[in-house]
């Protein structure tokens, strides 16, 4: 078989480790691999590059994606789907491994349902918001980066008696905020899934000060709903607004300072969270996903996605995986809440 590989959506530590594992397993089984440039855009435009043993060597520690990425949605491009099917056929491809989040894999699921397109998915996102898998690769690295930042901010908070607000990514779920907040010992964590108001957050901070702690760390997810803050601006081809533009961290910091009188500063971690080398855990997860995806292709099991259930790598339907977002359940938030105030 000749198998195409693409990476779509935001870049994410571990993408290259998947490309390496998919390729190595496919080579070992006698198949050829072709890289598709910049996600679905590469199939719309017909941009390919050969991937051989040399191209996939040395990739384990490398962040980003050697194939480039984009948020192109062929269903939103005039003639996009026909172009995908035509370029796929013209390049004599037999199968596709799509590595991406809900958007990239959602396109794969739809192409499979509507055209029996031979696609297999690998779940990628630092947000960890894909259902049907316990964890996506990239998440552990993002959480590690945020935890280190929270540790560093602690020392400044403590020295200056300040409240430090840390804004993290995660889109409409609070996985990064909750996990890094628990790991970093945050005093308040605000996420989209939980209706903790600013008044309640300020109460926790005051309570902390009353018991002699004169600094606090507040972790807020970019998608946290704050009264008076509306989504605005441009949307991408999948209909997503840029949540970072809401400036939730800065608004929250100013309200905390107003309501408590404590000096407050904000740090927005931004794309630092997606940068650099994957953690060992993400390298291993990405590798296991890559092997599974190659095996699914080899077996002709299309319309499936590699997934983690407990400690086992399994496969699930792409349709199921992209049907809904995986939100932070209450019991995870309760672990975080036990340390508020």
Binding site for ligand F6P (CB under 6 A): 10, 101, 125-127, 169-171, 222, 242-243, 274
Which residues share a beta bridge with 49?
Answer: 35
How many Å apart are CA 318 and CA 98, to the nearest integer? 11
Which residues share a beta bridge with 137?
Answer: 124
Return the number of the residue (24 or 274) whose C-beta is nearest ligand F6P: 274
C-alpha angle 149/226/194, rounded to 5°? 75
Least spacing, CB of residue 283 vs ligand F6P, in Å:
19
Which residues share a beta bridge with 5?
Answer: 35, 97
Return the number of the residue (212 or 233) whose C-beta is nearest ligand F6P: 233
How many Å apart are CA 30 and CA 269, to the nearest integer? 44
Q: How many CB atoms lie within 10 A of CB 269?
A: 21
| Known catalytic membership, residue 315 | no
Least spacing, CB of residue 126 vs ligand F6P, in Å:
5
Position closest to ligand F6P via CB: 169
Return the number of the residue (58 or 270) whose C-beta is nearest ligand F6P: 270
Least spacing, CB of residue 196 vs ligand F6P, in Å:
20
Return the number of the residue (46 or 276) whose C-beta is nearest ligand F6P: 276
Least spacing, CB of residue 334 vs ligand F6P, in Å:
24
Least spacing, CB of residue 136 vs ligand F6P, in Å:
10
Q: Are 59 and 290 in contact (CB under 8 A)?
A: no
How many Å apart are CA 297 and CA 290, to the nearest integer? 11
Return the number of the residue (114 or 148) whose C-beta is nearest ligand F6P: 148
Return the number of the residue (127 or 204) whose C-beta is nearest ligand F6P: 127
Among 125, 117, 109, 64, CA closest to 89: 117
**Residue 21 neighbours by CB under 8 Å, 6+ apart:** 286, 287, 288, 289, 290, 291, 294
Least spacing, CB of residue 20 vs ligand F6P, in Å:
22
Least spacing, CB of residue 231 vs ligand F6P, in Å:
12
Q: Are 157 and 213 in contact (CB under 8 A)?
A: no
> If DSSP states are collapsed to H, E and C, what string results for 61-94?
CCCCCCCCCCCCCHHHCCCHHHHHHHHHHHCCCC
Alpha-carbon separation of residue 148 from 158, 166, 184, 279, 336 (angstroms):
16, 12, 8, 13, 17
Return the number of the residue (103 or 204) whose C-beta is nearest ligand F6P: 103
Catalytic-role residue among 11, 103, 127, 140: 127
- Give the CB-side neighbour count of residue 182, counting CA atoms within 13 A: 15
| Residues designated catalytic | 127
């Amino acid at each position: 078989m000749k198998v195409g590989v693409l990476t779509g959506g935001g870049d994410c530590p571990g993408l290259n480790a998947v490309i390496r594992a998919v390729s190595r397993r496919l080579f070992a089984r006698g198949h050829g691999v072709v890289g598709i440039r910049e996600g679905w855009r590469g199939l719309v435009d017909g941009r390919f590059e050969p991937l051989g043993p040399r191209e996939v060597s040395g990739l384990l520690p490398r962040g980003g994606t050697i194939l480039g990425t984009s948020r192109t949605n062929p269903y939103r491009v005039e003639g996009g789907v026909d172009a995908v099917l035509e370029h796929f056929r013209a390049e004599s491809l037999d199968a596709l491994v799509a590595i991406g989040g809900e958007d990239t894999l959602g396109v794969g699921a739809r192409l499979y349902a509507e055209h029996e397109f031979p696609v297999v998915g690998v779940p990628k996102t630092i947000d960890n918001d894909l259902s049907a898998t316990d964890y996506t690769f990239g998440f552990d690295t993002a959480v590690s980066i945020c935890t280190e930042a929270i540790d560093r901010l602690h020392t400044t908070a403590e020295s200056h008696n300040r409240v430090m607000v840390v804004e993290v990514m995660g889109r409409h779920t609070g996985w990064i905020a909750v996990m890094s907040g628990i790991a970093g010992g945050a005093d308040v964590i605000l996420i989209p899934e939980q209706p903790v108001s600013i008044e309640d957050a300020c109460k926790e901070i005051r309570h902390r000060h009353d018991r002699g702690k004169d600094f606090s760390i507040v972790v807020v997810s970019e998608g946290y709903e704050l009264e008076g803050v509306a989504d605005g601006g441009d949307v991408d081809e999948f209909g997503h607004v840029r949540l970072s533009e809401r400036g939730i961290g800065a608004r929250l910091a100013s309200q905390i300072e107003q309501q408590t009188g404590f000096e407050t500063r904000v740090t927005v971690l931004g794309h630092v969270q997606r940068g650099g080398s994957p953690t060992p855990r993400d390298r291993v997860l990405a590798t296991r996903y890559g092997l599974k995806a190659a095996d699914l292709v080899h077996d002709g099991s299309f319309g499936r996605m590699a997934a983690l259930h407990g400690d086992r790598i399994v496969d699930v339907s792409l349709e199921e995986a992209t049907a809904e977002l995986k939100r932070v359940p209450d019991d995870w938030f309760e672990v975080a809440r036990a340390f508020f105030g």
